[in-house]
Amino acid sequence: MKKLLFIILIAASLFASQNAKLDIYTEHYPPYNYMENGKLKGISVEVLDAMLQIMNSTNLVDDVILTNWSRAYTIAKKKKNAMVFATTRTESRERFFKWVGPIVKSKVGVIAPKNKNIKVEKISDFNNYKVGAVLKDVGELLLLENGVNKKNIQYVKGTDAINISFNKMENNRIDMFAYSIDAAFANAKMEGFDTSKYEIIYTLKEGELYFAFNKDTDDAIIKRWQRALDTIKKNGTYAKIVEKY
């Protein structure tokens, strides 16, 4: 009887651990995650929603906190049972998080106005320019890792960081902007910028976006989330979501 009770208690504890409610954070990062008419939308948001349904999770998409990237990233890095998405997985970030994914492929690069005719042959050339980047974003990270001088990087933060960066390029306050190519152009179009006036002058990284969990998150939770993502990829749900965008 004691043995049976012990097994039941262990099973209950494991179930509780796997179903622990998470603090989930994201940023304005179209077409992956963004707010429209008071509702979170985007590829990664719909993928998340499908996964939560598969898991019968106590978390809901409505619980996701939309904030600026620097805050979302810092909280997920420091707070147990916190998660941030959609996050580019890089070697330097690897040890700070546990990862579930990939959600989608992504390309991080540098965008500049065509009328500036900027030609960049090697990454050290960026030290001749004023480069815009979002604080703690992968664009900033890749520039610094590859030897671009910090004094040449102009940081932007806040939920309106992409819009601010395009305004800065329009007003010659920065020469270029390092960011996810898809997200930068998608947001610029939403804000009414003429994206045909801009070009990609350099690719910093071709990678993948993930859900990034605080490193102290229980491994059972990580495995459960990964199984849910694998399931929606196998049953066709994932393909339908991606097709919409």
Average pLDDT of the segment spanning 157-168: 93
- C-alpha distances in Å from residue 187, one per residue of 30, 140, 162, 208: 6, 18, 7, 19
pLDDT tens-place string over residues 7-51: 444 443 444 444 578 999 999 999 999 999 999 999 999 999 999
Q: Report the largest interatomic distance among the alpha carbons of the chain, rounded to a whole angstrom.
A: 79
pLDDT tens-place string over residues 40-70: 999 999 999 999 999 999 999 999 999 999 9
Output the pLDDT for position 20.
Answer: 73
What is the spatial distance between Cα 106 and Cα 125, in angstroms, rounded to a whole number?
24
pLDDT tens-place string over residues 85-97: 999 999 999 999 9
Outline where the chain has alpha helix (H). Answer: 2-18, 43-55, 69-78, 138-145, 161-170, 181-190, 219-234, 237-244
- Nearest C-alpha neighbor of 85 from the set 56, 42, 50: 42
Output the pLDDT for position 157.
Answer: 87
Q: How many CB atoms lie under 10 A from the CB of residue 243? A: 7
Q: How confident is the model at residue 164 (pLDDT cuts 50, 70, 90)?
A: very high
Tell me: pLDDT of 133 over 80. Answer: yes
Strand partners of residue 40: 35
Tell me: pLDDT of 120 over 60. Answer: yes
User: Which one-letter amino acid corresponds to residue 62?
Assistant: D
What is the spatial distance between Cα 227 and Cα 221, in angstroms, rounded to a whole number?
10
Residue 59: alpha-carbon gap to chain centroid: 19
**CB 65 within 8 Å of CB 23:** yes
Output the pLDDT for position 19.
Answer: 59
Output the pLDDT for position 236.
Answer: 97
- Nearest C-alpha neighbor of 41 from the set 69, 58, 62, 55: 62
What is the DSSP secondary-structure string of 61-90?
Answer: GGGPEE--HHHHHHHHHHSTTEEEEEEE--
Q: SS3 of 131, please?
A: strand
